[in-house]
Structure 1
Amino acid sequence: MSASLHLVKLCVGAAEVSDLVSWQAARMEEARAAGRTPLPSHVTRMWPRRAEELLDGGSLYWVFKGLILARQRILSLDPRTGADGIERCAITLDPVVTRTAPRPRRPFQGWRYLPAAEAPPDVAAAAEPELPAPLALELDQIGVV
């Protein structure tokens, strides 16, 4: 990626990348049926202070079971008011989920900035089934994936 800055976020409730893809597809279909723009978004309490850098080609990298395994390009940061009346930040994402080389990531809350130099590279989409995360990490470490 050419962007200088990305975000990294735990993908809570999804065990693998296919779970995220399925969940987002269902939310996009609901939006389409309701007449809204069918783009996935993630709503967060905090507004990124480095928004300009994120919007210059940045991505949201997803962590599954302690490994970064996928990313989605950030399209926009939009204000969203919750049912409680508090304004939040909706991170609007490209619907394409790109798999990345697995990278370990310790648990954390919320999101964190991820410099481009620390972002894992994309991996080519394969027609084969998704590998278990620990196996994918071991294969990446020996240069196979």
Structure 2
Amino acid sequence: MEKIINLIKLSVGTENVEQLLAWQALPRARTRDNKPQHITRMWPKREEEILNGGSIFWVIKGVIQCRQRILRLDEYIAGDGIRRCAIVVDPEMHRTETALKRPFQGWRYLKPEDSPADLSDARANEEALPADLSAALADIGVR
């Protein structure tokens, strides 16, 4: 059985999923082939497992709310000459069940068995709850 690992990342300064999507639509957040990317300092050591079907789960306002499939990891060299990792993701956003997550630096690995499930098709188009209400519900175990 091939192994898969996900990543989890805080979307700092983002109020909701729509705002994350709007940011990813900006030219500076896109690759040359027009895919959303997130630039990070550290290159994941578990690259093969990530590229075997892994996703990046986004934490917004202290709550995991959505994920995007990771397409590839690109080398990114900024104006300062430092090598960084561009996590290139599928533009399609999948809303997930909510789960509380405390703040952390950078990104972390997230095992598939610890990852929140995608919302059903019937619920995926529902209007998102306010972040504080979503966090309160996740805190008491209601998703």
TM-score range, shorter chain: 0.7 to 0.9
Distance 2:3 2:133 in 1: 29
Which blocks of at least 5 consecutive residues in structure 1 are unaligned?
none
- Cα-to-partner distance string for 1:79-122 (whole Å, 9 max, x where unaligned): 11011001111110000111110011110000000000100000
Do the aligned residues in 2 keep the contact of 1:102 with 1:133 (CA within 8 Å)?
A: no
Q: How many residues align?
A: 138
Aligned equivalent of 2:131, options 115, 133, 145: 133
Does the 8 A contact of 1:3 with 1:56 survive in 2? yes
Q: What secondary structure does 1:70 align onto?
A: strand
Deviates more, 1:133-142 or 1:13-22: 133-142
1:1-145 superposed matches below 5 A: 4-27=4-27, 36-124=32-120, 125-137=123-135, 138=137, 141-142=141-142, 145=143
- Residue 26 of structure 1, CA deviation: 2.7
State the distance in 2 between where 1:57 and 1:94 align: 11
Percent identical residues: 47
Alpha-carbon RMSD: 2.3
| Contact in 2 for aligned 1:3/1:58 (Cα 8 Å) | no
Question: Unaligned regions of 5+ residues in structure 2, if any?
Answer: none
The alignment's TM-score, normalised by the length of structure 1, stands at 0.85
SS in 2 for 1:85: coil
